[in-house]
Amino acid sequence: MTSDGLRSRLKAEGLRLTPQRELVLAAVDRLGHATPEEVLAEVRQSSESLNLSTVYRTLDVLEHVGLIRHAHLSDRVATYHSVGGPEHFHAICRKCERVRSVDVSVAADFADRLRTELGFVADVGHLTIFGECEVCE
């Protein structure tokens, strides 16, 4: 995501481009899946100018304008990842804690079934499914 892309997305909502918003977006891009604390730590590698509450507010803004998404990979904290790669959901092993990113196409038939049988349109990209590896690595 370029700065210009970020700027235009923000502008469309009457929001401003700030250094903090650029830094947070870049950190989420680099980290893959990151909690707010992890984003803060990553940004602080290169700059002191960021506060945790700003991280929370900025993650909300970036999600609002559609540049990042969040998932619940643990019972405690949300993790954020940038939008741009293939849309995926998460499968997490309770034994080895491995997090798999699974392409949404794997859930396409399931989603169809929810729609036709229940009239429910699933947000597959937000899905996190817990379970166990048949054989952990």
Partner DNA sequence: CTCCCTGCAAATAGTTTGCACAATA
Partner DNA sequence: TATTGTGCAAACTATTTGCAGGGAG
109 binds a second copy (CB under 8 A): yes
17 binds DNA (CB under 7 A): yes
27 binds DNA (CB under 7 A): no
Nearer to DNA, 18 or 104 (CB): 18
Nearer to DNA, 19 or 66 (CB): 19
Tokens of 74: 């643990």
Tokens of 36: 């707010």
List Cα–Cα distances, 39 to 32, 34, 112, 120, in angstroms.
10, 6, 35, 34
Cα 114–Cα 128–Cα 123 angle in degrees, nearest 5? 40
Q: Which stretch binds DNA (CB under 7 A): 45-53, 91-99, 115-123, 125-133?
A: 45-53
Size of the site for DNA (CB under 7 A): 27
35 binds DNA (CB under 7 A): yes
Tokens of 113: 């079934």
Buried b / exposed e along 120-136 (16+ C-beta atoms within 10 A):
eebebeebeeeeeeeee
Binding residue (CB under 8 A) for a second copy from 83, 91, 99, 104: 91
Interacting residues with DNA (CB under 7 A): 7, 10, 14-21, 35-37, 49-54, 56-58, 60-61, 76-78
